[in-house]
Chains A and B, each alone.
Chain A
Amino acid sequence: MDFAFSREQVMFKKEVIRFAKKEIVPRVQEHDLKGEFDFTSFRKMGDFGILGLHFPEELGGGGADVLTTVLAGEALGEAGVDGGLTLAYGAHSFLCADTIFRHGTDIQRKHYIPKLASGQWIGCMGLSEPDAGSDVASMSTTATRQGDSYVLNGTKMWITNGPIADVAVVYAKTDPDQQHAGISAFIVDKGTPGFSAGPPLIKMGVRTSKTSELVLNNCAIPADNLLGNEGEGFLMAMQTVEWDRSALLAPFVGSTTYLVKKCADYAKGRVQFGKPIGHFQAIKRKLADMRIFGEAARALVYRIAWCKDQGRPLNHLEAAVAKLFIGDWSLPVTNDAVTLHGGYGYTHEFDVERIFRDTRLAPIGGGTSEVQKMIISRLM
C-alpha cells in the first residue's frame, strides 16, 4: 500500500489551482449572489481540459486516469471554486458525458464526447423523479418503443444543469412491470419536441448551478439513442452515481483545505481581548477539527478513484463509506468556520457563509446519508 502521487499528478493539481484562482474564483461571489451559472468559467474549464480530463485524447479528452481527475476536483475546491460550479461540472462530465462514453456506441461517442469535453455543449442526467429519489426502481417515467423511435413520458426532478443543458442522459422504464431490470438509459437532445426544462429552482446553496425538473411529454427520440441495451439502465446509473461518491466529493475535500487557510488567516488578523483570536485554544480547536476532517476524508476519496482505475466498476461499500463520512462530517466543519468568523461569517462579505450553504448538499445529493447507511448495512 502506498499513497504517492506521480510528479505529473502533483504538478497538474498545482496548475489547476493556479488556473482556478486566476480564471474562476474572482467571479464566484458575484455569480453566487445573483444565482447565475458562470458560462465563461465553464468554457474556460473546457479549454483548460478539466471537463474532459478522463476521456481519450482522440475524443477531445485528456486521457487522464480517475485519480488525476479526482485531484482536479480537489484542486478546484482548494482554490475556492464554489460548490455550484463544481456540481455543474460533475453532472456534466460524469453523470452525463461519462455515461455516454462508457455505454454509448462509437457513433454516439464521436458525436457527443468532443462537444461535452470542450464545454461547447452542456450535459445533464435525469434519474430522480418527484416521487422517486433514493428509490430509483420506483420511477414512473416510461419509454415505449414505437417503430424506430422510443416515446418518453414522465417528469424528472432535481436535475443539475437541467435548464441549461444541450443534452441529457435520461433513465426511463422500457418495462414498467419490472423493477430495476426494467430501467433503460437514453440520450435526449435539447430541442427534441416534447422535451422541456422547468424554471430553475431557487436553492439554499450551490446557487450557481441551475437545477430544474425535466418534462418528457410524448417525447419521441430515435431508437438509436438508447444507451447499451434495454434493461441495463440501473447498472449504468449505479456506476454513474459512484462518480457522485468519488470525483464529486473531491471538491469538498479541497474546500476544507481552503477553509482551514481562510479561517487561520482570519484568526491571525482578528484581534480581541488584546490578542489575535488565533491565540485562544477554542479557536485552535475549531481549526484542528477542520483539518482532521479534511485529512480523514482524503484517503476515502482516493480509494474509490484507485478502485475505478483498477478496473473495478462497482465499489458499493467504498463509495457509500466515503459519501456517508463526507456528507455527515462536513457540516460541523463549515458550521465552525462560520462561527469562527463571528458576525462577519454570517454575511456575504466572507465566503465561509457560501461554503456553509453549499456544503449542506453533501449529505443529500448523490444519495442521502440514510441511503448510504442502508447500502452499508446490507453489505455487512
Chain B
Amino acid sequence: MNFDFNDDENRLFENVRAIAAAAPAEEALAGQSVDAVSRTLRDILKQLAEIGYLQLGFGNNAQADAVPLMKAMETLAGQARSLFLAVEMSTRVLARAMAHWATEEQKERWLQGLLAGESIGALALSENTMNVENDPLQTLGVRKGGRVLVSGSKNYVVNGSLADRIGVVGMLDGRPALFMVDRRVSGLTVSDRIRTMGYDGLHLAALDLHDCDLPEENVILPPENAGVLDLLRMWENEVLLAAALGMMQASLAEARDFAKSHRSGGKPVIAYQEVGFKLSEMLTLHQTAQLFAYRAVWTMATQPKEGASLIWCAKVFGTEAAERVAGEALRILAGQGYRSGSAAESAYRAAKWTQISGISTEIARVRIGDHALGYR
C-alpha cells in the first residue's frame, strides 16, 4: 500500500494545472460561438497531448496509470469544468472504446488522432426514448451491399456539435456496435446546442440519424459478451467522478480563501465556528471522496470484478458530496458566491449533471443494493 504520488506524477499534475489555469473561464466559454469553443477545445487538447495527459490509461501502463489519471483528471476538472468533460468524453470514453474494440486499421485511422489531440470525438449512447438503461438499444444498423445504414435518435451527446467524428452506439447483427459517423455524413442531423442548468461551456446536442450510409470499415464491432454498455458507462462514471472531485476542490478552495481573507466582527470569518466547522466538513467530504475514487479506480484496474460495484459506490458518494460541498461553500461565500463567475455557484449547478449522467445515483443505488443481496 502506498498513499503517495511519485515525482513524475506530481510534475504531470503541475503541468495539467498550468494548462487548466490558462484556459478560458466558464462564463467566457458560455458566450462563445461553436467555432470559438471548438478552437479552444482543440488548443487545449493539443497542449494536453504534449504533456502526455491524453495518453494516460492507454497502452501497457493502463493499470499503473489508473490512480494518477484520476488525480490528473481532478486537477483539470477543478479549473476547466466544461472543457474537462469535452476532453474526456473524447478521450477517456470514445478513444478508450476504440482502444478496446477497434481493429488496427481503425485505430490508425481514428485513435491516433484523438490521442494526439488532433481531433475531437463524441460518444452517442443515450437513446432519445430511454436514456437510463439504454438496453435494448434502439439505434440500429442494417447491412446493405457492403455498407451499413444507421437509423436512430440520440440525446445528451457531449461535443455533439463540435466533434469531428461521433461513435454512435447501436445494434448490428443482434449485438452492440459503434458506428463511427463523420459530422458531415448525409442523414445525420445535429440539434442546436441544448441549454443546460450547469456546465455553461459544454456543447450538448441531440442527434437524429436517418439511414446514415456508412462503409463497413466505419463499424467497430466488439466481441460478443464484451459488456459494451456496462463498460462505456463505467468509463463515463470515472470521468464524472473526477469532475465531482474537481468541483469539490474548486469550491473548497474558493470558500477557504474567502473565509481567511473576509473579515467580520473584527476577525476573519474562518475564526467563527459556524464557518470553520463547515469548512472542516467540506474538506472531510473532499478527502474521503478523493481516496474513495482512487481506491475504486485502482480496484477496477487490478480486480475488475470487484471494481465495478466500487465505482458505482464512489460515483454516488463523490457526486452527491460535490453538490453538498458546493452548497456549503455558497453559504460561506454569501453574496460573493451567488454571483456568476463564482466557482462554487458554477459547481453547484454542474454537480447535478454528474449525478444524473452516466449511471444515475438512483440506478446506482439499486444496483449496489442488488449486489449486496446477491441479485446480480
Chain A residues with CB under 8 Å of chain B are 1-5, 67, 260-261, 263-264, 267-268, 278, 281, 283-292, 295-300, 302-303, 306-307, 320-321, 324-325, 370, 372-378, 380
A299-B291, A380-B283 given; A284·B373 CB < 8 A: yes
Interface size class of B (residues with CB under 8 A): 35 or more
B374 and A374: CB pair below 8 A? no
Given contacts A3-B295, A288-B372, A303-B291, contact A376 B284 (CB under 8 A): yes
Contact present for A380 and B277 (CB under 8 Å) = no
When distances are taken between beta carbons in the complex, the residues of chain A under 8 Å from B68 are: 1
Question: B276's closest neighbor in chain A, by CB?
Answer: A377
In the complex, are the beta carbons of B280 and A306 less than 8 A apart?
A: no
Q: Which of B5, B280, B284, B373 contacts A267 (CB 8 A)?
A: B373
A260 to B281, CA, bound (A): 25
A297 to B317, CA, bound (A): 11
Q: Which residues in chain B, 1-35, are within 8 Å of chain A measured between CB atoms?
A: 1-5
Known contacts A1-B68, A296-B317; decide if A285 and B369 are in contact (CB<8 Å). yes
Query: Closest 5 interchain pairs by CB?
Result: A284-B369, A377-B276, A376-B280, A288-B368, A299-B291
Given the interface pairs A321-B288, A324-B284, the reply to whether A1 lies near B294 with Cβ below 8 Å is yes
Assess whether B281 is in contact with A373, with CB atoms less than 8 Å apart.
yes
A/B interface sample: 29 pairs, CB < 8 A: A1-B3, A1-B298, A2-B2, A2-B298, A3-B294, A4-B302, A5-B1, A263-B372, A278-B369, A281-B369, A284-B366, A285-B366, A286-B369, A288-B313, A288-B364, A288-B366, A291-B368, A292-B316, A296-B314, A307-B3, A324-B280, A325-B284, A325-B288, A372-B280, A374-B273, A374-B276, A378-B276, A380-B279, A380-B283
Asked if B310 and A295 make an inter-chain contact with CB atoms under 8 angstroms apart, the answer reads yes
Name the CB-closest residue of A to B6: A1
Given the complex, which residues of B lie within 8 Å of A307, measured CB to CB?
A: 3
Asked if B292 lies at the interface with its beta carbon under 8 angstroms from chain A, I say yes
Cβ of B299 under 8 Å from chain A: yes
* B298 closest partner in A (C-beta): A3
> In the bound complex, what is the Cα–Cα distance between A300 and B292 (angstroms)?
8
- Chain A CB count within 10 A is highest, among B270, B295, B310, B369, for B369
- Contact yes or no, B3 A303, CB < 8 A: yes
Q: Which residues of A contact B317 (CB under 8 A)?
A: 292, 296
Question: Residues of B contacting A263 with CB < 8 Å?
Answer: 372
CB–CB A300/B288 < 8 A: yes
In the assembled complex, B287 has its CB within 8 A of some CB on chain A: yes
Instruction: Give the contacts of B59-108 with A (CB-CB under 8 A).
Output: 67-68
Asked whether A377 lies within 8 Å of B373 as measured between CB atoms, the reply is: no
Which residues B290-337 have CB closer than 8 A to chain A? 291-292, 294-296, 298-299, 302, 310, 313-314, 316-317
Contact B1 A67 (CB under 8 A): yes
A370 to B273, CA, bound (A): 9
| Neighbouring A residues of B295 by C-beta, 8 Å | 3, 295, 298-299
Q: Which residues of A contact B375 (CB under 8 A)?
A: 278
In Å, the complex CA distance between A174 and B223 comes to 75
Chain B residues contacting A2 (CB-CB under 8 Å) are 1-2, 67, 298
Q: What residues of A have a CB within 8 angstroms of the CB of B370 in the complex?
A: 284
Write the nearest CB–CB distance from A80 to chain B, whole angstroms: 17
B residues near A292, Cβ cutoff 8 Å:
313, 316-317, 368
Q: Check B154 for interface membership: any CB of A closer than 8 A.
A: no
Alpha-carbon gap, A242 to B17, bound state (A): 33
- Report A-chain residues with C-beta under 8 Å of the C-beta of B299: 3
Closest to A305 in B: B1
Please indicate the chain A residues that have their CB under 8 angstroms from the CB of B374 in the complex.
264, 268
Query: Which listed residue, B1, B67, B369, touches A306 by the CB 8 Å rule?
Result: B1
Q: B175 near A: Cβ within 8 Å? A: no
Does B256 count as interface, using CB distance less than 8 angstroms? yes
Tally of A-B Cβ pairs under 8 angstroms = 139
Chain B residues near A260: list those with CB within 8 A.
372
B270 touches A289 (CB 8 A): no
CB distance B365 to A288 under 8 Å? yes
Taken together as a complex, chains A and B put the C-alpha atoms of A300 and B285 apart, in Å, by 11
Contact at A296–B373, with CB atoms within 8 Å? no
| A1/B5 in contact, CB under 8 A | yes
Q: Give bound CA distance, A17 to B4, whole Å.
A: 30
Contact status B313-A3, CB under 8 Å:
no
Q: What is the bound-complex CA distance between A68 and B287, given in angstroms?
A: 23
Q: In the complex, A1 Cα to B67 Cα: how many Å?
A: 7
CA separation between A306 and B3, bound complex, in Å? 8
- A307 (CB) vs chain B CBs: closest residue: B3
- Provide the bound-state CA to CA distance between A16 and B299, in Å: 23
Question: Is B373 in contact with A295, judged by CB distance below 8 angstroms?
Answer: no
Q: Mark out the residues of chain B between 247 and 303 whose CB falls within 8 Å of any chain A CB in the assembled complex.
A: 256, 270, 273, 276-277, 279-281, 283-285, 287-289, 291-292, 294-296, 298-299, 302
Determine whether the beta carbon of B369 is less than 8 Å from that of A380.
Answer: no
Whether A299 contacts B372 by the Cβ 8 Å rule is no
- Name A286's closest neighbour in chain B (CB-CB): B369
Q: Which of A287, A321, A374 contacts B368 (CB 8 A)?
A: A287
User: Contacts A1-B294, A373-B276: A321 and B372 contacting too (C-beta < 8 A)?
Assistant: no
In the complex the two chains form, what is the Cα distance from A292 to B279 in whole Å?
23
Known: A264-B373, A281-B366, A288-B372. A4 touches B1 (CB 8 A): yes
Given pairs A292-B317, A298-B295, A303-B291, 12 additional interface contacts (CB within 8 A): A1-B298, A2-B1, A4-B1, A288-B313, A288-B365, A291-B372, A295-B313, A296-B288, A296-B314, A306-B2, A320-B280, A373-B277
Give, as a whole number of angstroms, the nearest-CB distance from A380 to chain B: 6
A73 to chain B minimum Cβ distance, whole angstroms, is: 16
* B373, A268: Cβ atoms closer than 8 Å: yes
* Distance, CA A263 to CA B369, complexed state (A): 11
- Contacting residues, chain A, for B1 (C-beta < 8 A): 2-5, 67, 302, 306
Alpha-carbon distance A304/B245, docked complex (angstroms): 21
Contacts of B288 in A (CB 8 A): 296-297, 300, 321, 325
The chain A residue with its CB closest to the CB of B9 is: A1
- Docked Cα-Cα span, A291 to B302, in Å, equals 20
CB distance from B132 to the nearest CB of A (A): 14
Contacts of A288 in B (CB 8 A): 313, 316, 364-366, 368-369, 372
Which residues in B have their C-beta under 8 angstroms from that of A320? 280
CA distance A378 to B268 in the complex (A): 12
Residues of the A chain whose Cβ atoms lie less than 8 Å from the Cβ of B279: 376-377, 380
Chain B residues closer than 8 Å to A290, beta-carbon distance = 372
A302 to B291, CA, bound (A): 10
Known: A264-B373, A268-B373, A324-B281. A296 touches B368 (CB 8 A): no
Contacts of A268 in B (CB 8 A): 373-374
In the bound complex, residues from chain B placing their C-beta under 8 Å from that of A378 are 276
B372 and A377: CB pair below 8 A? no
